[in-house]
Chain A
Amino acid sequence: MNIQSTLAKRYIFSQKRHSVLTICSIAAAISLMTILFVGFSVVLNFQRALEYDEAPYHCMVESITAKQAEILCEDPDIMSCEIIEDPSNPDIQQGQILFRKFIKDELVVIERAFAAAGLPMDDEAGNSSFYLNTELMQYDLVGIQAWYTIATYFALFFVAVILLVMAMRLVIDTAFEISSKERERQFGALQSIGATPNQIVKIITLEGTFFSLIGIPLGLLCGIGLTYLVYAMIVRNGLLEIAYTPEKIERLLRFTVEPWMLVVCAGIGYFWVWLSAYSTGMRIIRMSPIQAITSRSNTVERVKKHSIYGLLCGWSGKLAARNARRSKKRFWITVVSLTISITLFSTSSYAINGFIDSYERYLVDMGVNYDFLVTYAHKSENALAYLDAITELEQSGYFKDIAFETGTWGKITDNSDYESISILYYNQTTYENFFYDKPSVSYEELKESGKYLLLAYPSDGEKIKNVLDEDSLSANIAHWNHLSVEAYEALTPEEQEQWHPETQFDEQSGEEILIRYDSITFNPQTYPILKNIPYSDITLDAPEDDTLEDGLGSIILVGAIETYEQCYTDYGFPAREYEFHCNLAEDDSYYDAVRFLEAHDTLSLEWDVYRMNESNRSTFTITRMIVTFLSLMLAIISIVNMINIISTGILNRRSELATMQCIGMTKGQMYRMTVIECMQYVLTSGIVASLVSIAIMVITAKFSQLMTGEALESVIDYTGPQPMIWLCTAAAFGLALVTAFFSIQGLRKQSLVDQIRSID
Chain B
Amino acid sequence: MEFLKIEHLCKTYGKGEGEVKALSDVSFTVPKGQMVAVIGPSGSGKSTLLHILGGVERPTSGTVWLDGQDVYQQNNKNLAIFRRRQVGLIYQFYNLIPVLNVEENMTLPMLLDGRKAKKERVEEMLKLLGLTERRRHLPSQLSGGQQQRTSIGRALFTSPNIILADEPTGNLDSKNSAEIIALLRKSNQEFNQTMMIITHDENIALQCDRILTISDGRIVEDVLTHQT
Q: Which residue of B lies closest to A665 (CB)?
A: B112
Kindly state whether residue B221 has any CB partner on chain A within 8 Å: no
- Which size bracket describes the interface of A in this complex? 20 to 34
Contacts A664-B84, A666-B77; is A303 near B99 (CB within 8 Å)? yes
A660 located at the interface, meaning its Cβ lies under 8 Å from any Cβ of chain B in the complex: yes
Partner of B99, one of A323, A663, A667, A753: A323
The verdict on A381 contacting chain B, using a C-beta distance below 8 Å, is: no
Most chain B CB inside 10 Å of its own CB: which residue of A303, A314, A326: A303
Residue B51 CB within 8 A of the other chain = yes
User: CB-CB contacts of A290-322 with B at 8 A, as 1s and 0s?
Assistant: 000000101111110000000000110001001
Name the one of A298, A669, A753 contacting B56, with C-beta atoms under 8 angstroms: A753
Partner among B89, B113, B138, B154 whose Cβ is within 8 Å of the Cβ of A301: B138
What residue in chain B is nearest A664 (Cβ atoms)?
B84
B179 at interface by CB-CB < 8 Å: no
Interchain CA distance A468-B75 in the complex, whole Å:
93
How far, in whole Å, are A323 and B100 apart by their CA atoms in the complex? 10
Bound complex: CA A302 to CA B99 (Å): 8
Contact indicator A662/B54 (Cβ below 8 Å): yes
Q: Are A303 and B97 in contact (CB under 8 A)?
A: no
Say yes or no for A129: interface residue by CB 8 A criterion.
no
B140 at the interface (CB under 8 A from A): yes
* Other-chain contact of B97, A296, A656, A664, A668 (Cβ < 8 Å): A656
Bound-state CA distance A759–B147 (Å) is 15
| B207 CB, min distance to chain A CBs, angstroms | 25
B111 within 8 A of A: yes
Kindly list chain A residues whose C-beta atoms are within 8 Å of the C-beta of B82.
Answer: 664
Say whether A664 contacts B85, CB under 8 Å: yes
- Using Cβ atoms and an 8 Å threshold, which residues of chain A touch B77? 666-668
B95–A756 contact, CB under 8 A?
A: yes
Q: Are A322 and B99 in contact (CB under 8 A)?
A: yes
Docked pose: A656 CA to B97 CA in angstroms: 6
Q: Which residues of A contact B154 (CB under 8 A)?
A: 663
Looking at the assembled complex, report how far the CB atom of B217 sits from the nearest CB atom of chain A, in whole angstroms: 15
Contacts of A326 in B (CB 8 A): 98-99
Cβ-closest chain B residue relative to A655: B95
State A47–B88 Cα separation when bound (angstroms): 72
A661 at the interface (CB under 8 A from B): yes
Q: Given A656-B98, A663-B109, A667-B77, verify A751-B138 contact (CB < 8 Å).
A: no
The interface centre, meaning the residue of B51, B95, B113 with most chain A CB atoms within 10 A of its CB, is B95
- Asked if A659 is an interface residue, CB under 8 A from chain B, the answer is yes
Q: In the bound complex, how far is the Cα of B139 from the Cα of A301, in angstroms?
A: 9
Let me know if A760 is at the binding interface, CB within 8 A. yes
Interface flags, B47-68, vs A, CB<8A=1, else 0 = 1100100101100000000000
CB distance from A759 to the nearest CB of B (A): 6
Q: Which of A743-760 contact B (CB under 8 A)?
A: 751-753, 756, 759-760
Q: Given the interface contacts A319-B100, A669-B112, A753-B47, does A661 sit within 8 Å of B80 by beta carbon?
A: yes
B224 at the A interface (CB under 8 A): no
Cα–Cα, bound, A751→B76 (Å): 13
Given contacts A301-B140, A663-B83, A663-B154, contact A315 B93 (CB under 8 A): no
Q: How far is the CA of A669 from the CA of B83 in the complex (A)?
A: 14
Bound-state CA distance A628–B139 (Å) is 47
Of A315, A659, A663, the most chain B CB neighbours within 10 A belong to A663
Indicate which residue in A315, A322, A661, A668 contacts B111 across the interface (CB closer than 8 Å): A315
A656 to B82, CA, bound (A): 19
With both chains docked as a complex, state the minimum distance between the C-beta of A651 and any C-beta of chain B, in angstroms.
Answer: 15
Q: What 3 A-B pairs are tightest by C-beta distance, nearest first?
A: A664-B84, A322-B99, A300-B98
Given A300-B98, A326-B99, 5 more A-B residue pairs with CB atoms under 8 Å apart are A300-B140, A303-B100, A659-B91, A664-B82, A752-B51
Query: What are 28 A-B contacts defined by CB distance under 8 Å?
Result: A299-B140, A300-B99, A300-B140, A303-B138, A315-B112, A656-B95, A656-B97, A659-B91, A659-B97, A660-B108, A661-B80, A662-B54, A662-B56, A662-B83, A663-B109, A664-B81, A664-B83, A664-B113, A665-B80, A665-B84, A665-B112, A666-B77, A667-B76, A752-B56, A753-B51, A756-B95, A759-B93, A760-B91
